[in-house]
Amino acid sequence: MEVLNPKLDLTLSHHSSFHSISSTTKHRASYPYRIHSLKINRIDEYCWGQSKNCASLGFRRLRVRSEKKLNDEDSNVVRLIKKDTSDRSSLIRSIGRGFVGFAVAAAAVISICSDPPALSESLTVAFPVSRAREVNTVQRTLVEAWGLIRESFVDPTFNHQDWDLKLQQTMVEMFPLRSADAAYNKISGMLSTLGDPFTRLISPKEYQSFRIGSDGNLQGVGLFINVEPSSGNLVVMSCIKGSPAARAGIHEGDELIEIDGERLDGVDGEAAAQKLRGRVGTTVTVKFHDVNTNLFLSGVKLSREFIKLSPITSAIISHKTPDGHPFKTGYVKLSAFSQTAADEMESAIQEMESQGVQSYILDLRNNPGGLVKAGLDVAQIWLDGDETLVNTIDRDGNLLPINMVNGHALTHDPLVVLVNEGSASASEILAGALHDNGRAILVGHKTFGKGKIQSVTELHDGSALFITVAKYVSPALHDIDQVGITPDVQCTTDMLNSPKESSSFLKDKSAVSSLEADSCIMVAEHELEIQKSKGSAS
């Protein structure tokens, strides 16, 4: 997950086992949107791969039916047959000229049907089955990936290449291989020719990690671990408060030595994390080096529990205005756009409203993005009416505004949004929505500049394909991709030595103290004071 950085994606996830946020939101049942398009009617649920909601978002679902048969006299000619019920003419293209002399080889026939009926077409891809079983599995993955790209990739020219011919070339290159890793590399090579770094295939393990980050829950012990480059040791990056690991006395900086008696020399962070995860109620035994006491502690049993990964941290900063009156600013840090992001932010805002907060700072710095619906739902917490949240541009160049429907903001207090070069994708959608609709002032540095939307589909082997399916621009039609959003007010990221006098509520005071020393937050507070003096939100 860390290698491919999937969080740097704005995603519409295709997987039937996920739950949409509309089914788990406590305070608001769902957030409806109006999308101006004949093909797309609503976006109030996630688009999972085999659900009917895919059709409502304009994505064509692919059903893959495969069978094996014994190839005979025609085995040296493998054909891709495309039957199209639209006005496009039929195409028969040979993809098997590179296969000669496989008269008795098995052949796989995969039929790909596209739904709904109005978009119906059938693709039949036949190819000799590799003698290596693991490569044969990847052959099917190749056809799945190729078909999904063909149906939904944002660039209909596929980076100015013949995409059907690319399948032929890749199948020819894959056939003689003997390992799955080598075969998967061929798929990655095919995808790289699209010229889009965000369209890619990730392994089943990487996809599981991505799902954990997206749905905000896991079954484990509450540790974030990674390999320390200089020593090669597995080091605890952070420990979730109240988790089994925290209760056992494991701290940030400690080194993991063994898991269930197995040494971790040469084991990477993801592999170690997989060993720590497991069913709730089971236990795992670890040995670790406590860096604070320099003791090696073995036989430490940790019980696996449901671990909630919250993307929200919040605090109330209380201080006095120049005229001596008390003033409370609510600070909310959003680290990622997971399925729980909007629900948790709504709870945080309601709690701070009950404590008399008069203005807000929303910190999106170093937030790399996440799920598209989460970003849209968070925007509605701050906006009223039928405002445009973002404009998408499909593969045909059609501009499709996504509007709220009768929105009601939780608060109308003045708002400043903090952004920097690490604010990407859904962060940029949210920042653009709040800024262009006159709801917030942006403070910080220019954002990353990722104006593309990805869909995510789990394939038959448990891997997942990320496909760029659309581009987006801000409500005011400002381009974001490779440009970013320039804030209204620049600030430095230096931490100042003498924070101003104040007190804090809600979260621990040490965290608030560090916030008060953040010069960007000081600039944000200054902007909020200006807004307050004007008597209205920006």
Known catalytic residues are 425, 450
177-181 contacts: CB < 8 A, separation 24 or more?
Answer: 177/130, 177/132, 177/135, 178/132, 178/135, 179/132, 179/134, 179/135, 180/134, 180/135, 180/137, 180/138
Encoded tokens for 328: 């409370």
Encoded tokens for 225: 């671990």
Residue 306 contacts by C-beta under 8 Å, 6 or more apart in sequence? 217, 218, 219, 280
Distance CA 477, CA 487 (A): 16
Distance CA 166, CA 305 (A): 46
Cβ contact 449:482 at 8 Å: yes
405 beta partners: none
Report the SS3 class of residue 378. Answer: helix
Encoded tokens for 411: 């608060």
Rounded to the nearest 10 degrees, how much is the dihedral formed by the CA atoms of 526, 528, 531, 532? -100
Encoded tokens for 300: 């430490």
DSSP 235-302: EEEEE-TTSHHHHTT--TT-EEEEETTEE-TT--HHHHHHHH---TT-EEEEEEEETTTTEEEEEEEE
Nearest to 379, CA basis, from 333, 426, 424, 433: 433
Place of tokens 């990805």: 454
326-329 contacts: CB < 8 A, separation 24 or more?
Answer: 327/358, 327/359, 327/532, 328/355, 328/356, 328/357, 328/358, 328/359, 328/505, 329/357, 329/358, 329/359, 329/360, 329/361, 329/525, 329/528
The β-bridge relationship of strands 223-227 and 217-220 is unpaired
